[in-house]
Amino acid sequence: MLSNEFIAKIEGHGAIHIDWDKNEAKLKVLEGERLFEGMLEGRTAEEAHWITPRICGVCPIAHNLASVMACEDAFDVKPHQTTILLRKLMLAGQMIQSHFLHLFFLALPDYVGIDRGTELNQKDPKSFKMALILKKVSDEIVHTVAGRNVHPTTTTIGGFHKIPKKSALKELLEMLKKTKTAAKNTVKLFSGLNYPQLKVNLELVSQKEDQIVSNKNADSSSIKNYKKDIEETIKEGSTAKFGKYKNREIMVGALARLAHLDTEKKSGPDYQNPFHNNLAQAVEIDLYHNQSQEIIEQLLRDGLKDTIAPKPINFTQNKPFIGIGAVEAPRGGLYHEFHFDNKGIITYANIITPTVQNLTSIEKSANALLEQFKNETQEKKKKLLEMLVRAYDPCITCATH
């Protein structure tokens, strides 16, 4: 018979096992192994950024850019300012796409008493309309810059195969201006939800320029040390590894990014409640919506350099080609590392995804929840645990790549 244990409404296949006697929760990741790091061996740099977006259909842009940047790091390619801005724009679009999907289709149903996200159309048509507006504008950003909503087609090492026309950017700008209210109202909607009151001593970690920074410890570290600092261990019954940062349980993603941005912390999310990651994502929708508009205005002001074709790479030089690409993906810090031989063929690949880093924290928060809600019924606790897992927006397919 069929196993029914998968948690619904999360990206990928995971389950939570609760030992009621011990009052203890264990997270199980049950996705099949695709072995991307092995698959990439024998492939070229241009194939790498074609293959890695397929790790995750929810955040393909982040994987694509991490791969492109790892290759550029290896080959010492410096992209043009237009390229940097266009990449920032497609990543902003990706943030809104991914947060939209999570907030409206996976998380919100728990809070408004519906099952499938599209039922919001009956329950709260105004909010549903707002959600579709955000989906449309974010898809449009990604489609215009990256060539397709899911899995980009225009990017390449050093630049873009094709860049958007000025007229397309102008249309996008108009669309962004018209949809500003939808982004603002999303923050209002998610500020008003009745989040479970959970208190966890969260260490929030995010990339900041070329550093990895934490809100609890001042021991920021270069991204180049990612492999040493983010330790992955295997766990029985789980096809994803569980990560720790400098041997500490950390949370990455929207809440963490915001904690490092919003220094005054006067309003907005409670940074010790993982459920508030939902609110942080809503705040980020507004933030990246604004950022998209600013980038397009800058591109239109400064002009698009349409000669950003990549330079041919000289593979004959006698040194190892090793590169690291790091991106703040929707769910947090993402790292790709490639080694190439002198023919430009990948000999080694390593990928650390945000969800791998979050898995350890999810379990910690789950156990905090069982303790803090111990007087609730088992049924209620189970429901809350599922909501908690969803709040982290885990991407299991990213975690088991």
Q: In terms of Cα–Cα distance, which of 234, 235, 239 is closest to 32? A: 239
> Is residue 148 at the binding interface for another protein, with CB under 8 A as the rule?
yes
Q: Are 214 and 250 in contact (CB under 8 A)?
A: yes
Q: What angle do CA 91, 352, 265 make, to 5 degrees?
A: 60
Q: Are 74 and 321 in contact (CB under 8 A)?
A: yes
CB of residue 78 vs another protein: minimum separation in angstroms? Answer: 20
The 220-239 contact track toward another protein, x by CB under 8 A, reads --------------x-x--x
CB of residue 298 vs another protein: minimum separation in angstroms? Answer: 23
Residue 71 assigned as binding residue: no
Residue 37 assigned as binding residue: yes
Phi, psi angles (nearest 5°) of residue 82: -60, -40
Q: Which is nearer to another protein, 185 or 347 (CB)?
A: 347
Tokens 């920074």 map to which residue?
213
> Is residue 105 at the binding interface for another protein, with CB under 8 A as the rule?
yes
* Segment interacting with another protein (CB under 8 A) among 111-119, 271-279, 287-295, 363-371: 111-119
Q: How far apart are CA 183 and CA 165, in angstroms?
A: 25
> Is residue 153 at the binding interface for another protein, with CB under 8 A as the rule?
yes
Q: How far apart are CA 393 and CA 9, in angstroms?
A: 10
CB of residue 58 vs another protein: minimum separation in angstroms? Answer: 6
Measured on CA atoms in the order 219, 220, 226, 230, is the torsion positive or negative? positive
Q: Which is nearer to another protein, 156 or 355 (CB)?
A: 156
Within 8 A by CB and 6+ apart from 96, the residues are 134, 137, 138, 141, 183, 285, 288, 289, 292
Q: What angle do CA 387, 391, 393 make, to 5 degrees?
A: 120
> Is residue 116 at the binding interface for another protein, with CB under 8 A as the rule?
yes
**Beta bridge partner(s), residue 29:** 14
Phi, psi angles (nearest 5°) of residue 332: 125, -165
Residue 337 assigned as binding residue: no
Residue from 93, 117, 269, 274 in contact with another protein (CB under 8 A): 117
Phi, psi angles (nearest 5°) of residue 334: -120, 135
CB of residue 194 vs another protein: minimum separation in angstroms? Answer: 19
Tell me, rounded to whole angstroms, the distance of Cα 121 from its chain centroid.
27
Residue 59 assigned as binding residue: yes
* Segment interacting with another protein (CB under 8 A) among 88-96, 140-148, 253-261, 315-323: 140-148
Q: Which is nearer to another protein, 13 or 364 (CB)?
A: 13
- Total of residues contacting another protein (CB under 8 A): 62
CB of residue 40 vs another protein: minimum separation in angstroms? Answer: 9
CB of residue 50 vs another protein: minimum separation in angstroms? Answer: 7
**Which DSSP category does 7 fall into?**
P
> Is residue 4 at the binding interface for another protein, with CB under 8 A as the rule?
yes
Residue from 18, 26, 80, 147 in contact with another protein (CB under 8 A): 147
Phi, psi angles (nearest 5°) of residue 274: -60, -25
Q: What angle do CA 279, 86, 69 make, to 5 degrees?
A: 90
> Is residue 168 at the binding interface for another protein, with CB under 8 A as the rule?
no
Q: Which is nearer to another protein, 361 or 397 (CB)?
A: 397
Q: Which is nearer to another protein, 41 or 270 (CB)?
A: 41
* DSSP per-residue string spanning 197-258: -------BEEEETTEEEESS-S--EEGGGHHHHEEEE--TT-SS-EEEETTB--B-SHHHHH
* DSSP per-residue string spanning 56-67: -SSSHHHHHHHH
Window 14 to 73, contacts with another protein (CB under 8 A): 30-35, 37-39, 42-44, 47, 50-51, 53-58, 60
Q: Which is nearer to another protein, 149 or 214 (CB)?
A: 149
Q: Which is nearer to another protein, 258 or 399 (CB)?
A: 399
Q: What angle do CA 158, 159, 165 make, to 5 degrees?
A: 170
What SS3 class is residue 366? helix
Residue 395 assigned as binding residue: yes
Q: Which is nearer to another protein, 109 or 268 (CB)?
A: 109
CB of residue 21 vs another protein: minimum separation in angstroms? Answer: 26
Residue 80 assigned as binding residue: no
> Contact residues for another protein (CB under 8 A)?
1-4, 6, 8-9, 11-13, 30-35, 37-39, 42-44, 47, 50-51, 53-58, 60, 101, 105, 115-118, 121, 132, 135-136, 139, 146-154, 156, 160-162, 234, 236, 239, 241, 397, 400
Residues at the annotated binding site for Mg(2+)? 37, 351, 401
